[in-house]
């Protein structure tokens, strides 16, 4: 049995952040039933290009494997009735809508506890359900700017730069997943559910971590660093080599001693300019210039071979294609396959969550409303007459 085989989640989700959180729970065995609004064509992620066809896309596949789909407009009396029946037999209602929308849709804990006192209601929004921006939409790119990330990313003197990935969205999804599991544990212990009011803004601010503490408690001003250098540890950054780039990290004194041996300067650890963290930070310009000159004399493969043998933390600066072909990526089972009726065999990255020794199982993302019969008959136990009545009130395009 998978770790979350006894968990059922109703997911009113779209795009990336919300689905990224719930896909990991689905990969761990939770039954995730996506509620897709027929008036909007379902999850907007179905229509993201490139590699998009009809109501399917590889973007959607990435965030929605192992889930089920039910087309349902919960703003109508008929749709609301089905939704409320689902709440009675589920553990979690998970949404990623604007912060003021859960109240309007009546999907908060206070709105649903009369149906199921142990229901967990997770809202992942841009700015949360409270505060002056709660009614505003929030997207990853905007939040990377607002939270100060772009101000400290990129080369000194260059323009503000976002991460190459939607890290606020993905981090927010994982925060929501962790909150759901904590609230679910408490609900099963105490019989009482709760709201999980998660915001992408809070997530992005919280990830400022120690630079925030330095700024809040002193005169430290976080700023961009040359070659993506660590703000305080030296050396800890990317270096150009004779044919590419590599990253070297020395977060412990022993690593610096080993690095000095590898690059032919065993005297460096005894040099007062480089003898400890503080000295190397004070004299970083001189030390980094010497290291850059050394690394430029040979290939990345040459230096990485020597550094790995010496036990110095290091790695190549890979392209995405190179990262996906890395032997360790393959050995860890991080590329998995599903079968799709249009795209054929779809290869995608696996969830990094590991529980026990059993390998994860992956099923393609659902077509829109693909699981209506399963949900209405197996989950809710509706008879044929009730199902027929429900289908008779659906919009023509949904029949």
Residues classed as catalytic: 230
- Burial class (CB within 10 angstroms; exposed 0-12, middle 13-18, buried 19+) of 133: middle
**C-alpha to C-alpha distance for 96 and 98, rounded to whole angstroms:** 7
Distances (CA, A) of 277 to 33, 223, 233, 247, 270: 52, 19, 6, 18, 13
For 11, 85, 104, 109, 212, the CA distances from 79, given in Å and listed in that order, are 15, 10, 15, 19, 46
Q: Which DSSP string corresponds to 65-117? A: TTEEEEE--TTSHHHHHHHHHHHHT-SEEEE---TTHHHHHT-SHHHHTTT-T
What crossing angle do the helices spanning 167-190 and 17-27 adopt, rounded to 10°?
A: 50
What phi and psi, each to the nearest 5 degrees, are found at residue 236? -165, 80
CA distances from 391 to 11, 335, 379, 385, 395 (A): 21, 39, 17, 10, 9
Closest to 306 (Cα-Cα) out of 271, 260, 275: 260
3-state secondary structure of 275: coil
The number of angstroms, rounded, from the C-alpha of 72 to the middle of its chain's C-alpha atoms is 26
Angle ∠(373,379,380) on CA atoms, nearest 5: 90
């Amino acid at each position: 049995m998978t770790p979350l085989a006894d968990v059922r989640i109703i997911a009113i989700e779209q795009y990336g952040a919300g689905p990224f959180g719930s896909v990991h729970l689905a990969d761990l065995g939770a039954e995730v039933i996506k509620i897709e609004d027929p008036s909007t064509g379902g999850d907007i992620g179905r229509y993201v290009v490139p590699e998009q066809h009809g109501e399917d896309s590889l973007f959607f596949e990435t965030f929605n494997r192992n889930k089920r789909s039910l087309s349902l407009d919960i703003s109508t009396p008929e749709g609301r009735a089905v939704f409320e029946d689902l709440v009675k037999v589920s553990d979690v209602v998970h949404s990623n809508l604007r912060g003021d929308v859960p109240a309007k849709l009546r999907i908060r804990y206070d709105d649903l506890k009369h149906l199921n006192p142990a229901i967990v209601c997770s809202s992942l929004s841009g700015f949360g359900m409270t505060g002056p921006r709660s009614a505003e939409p929030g997207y990853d790119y905007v939040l990377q700017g607002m939270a100060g990330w772009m101000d400290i990313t990129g080369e000194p003197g260059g323009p503000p730069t976002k991460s190459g990935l939607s890290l606020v969205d993905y981090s927010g999804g994982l925060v929501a997943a962790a909150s759901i599991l904590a609230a679910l544990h408490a609900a099963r212990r105490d019989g009482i559910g709760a709201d999980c009011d998660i915001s992408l803004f809070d997530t992005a601010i919280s990830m400022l971590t120690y630079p925030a503490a330095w700024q809040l408690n002193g005169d430290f001003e976080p700023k961009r660093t040359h070659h993506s250098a660590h703000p305080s540890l030296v050396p800890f950054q990317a270096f150009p080599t004779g044919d590419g780039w590599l990253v070297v990290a020395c977060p412990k004194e022993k690593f610096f001693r080993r690095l000095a041996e590898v690059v032919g300067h065993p005297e460096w650890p005894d040099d007062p300019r480089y003898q400890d963290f503080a000295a190397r930070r004070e004299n970083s310009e001189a030390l980094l210039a010497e290291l850059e000159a050394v690394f430029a004399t040979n290939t990345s493969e040459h230096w990485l071979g020597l550094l790995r043998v010496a036990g110095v933390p290091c790695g190549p600066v890979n392209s995405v294609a190179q990262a996906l072909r890395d032997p360790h990526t393959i050995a860890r089972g991080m590329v998995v396959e599903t079968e799709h009726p249009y795209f054929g065999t779809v290869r995608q990255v696996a969830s990094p969550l590991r529980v026990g020794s059993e390998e994860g199982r992956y099923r393609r993302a659902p077509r829109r409303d693909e699981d209506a019969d399963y949900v209405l008959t197996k989950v809710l136990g509706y008879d044929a007459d009730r199902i027929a009545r429900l289908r008779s009130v659906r919009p023509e395009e949904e029949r």
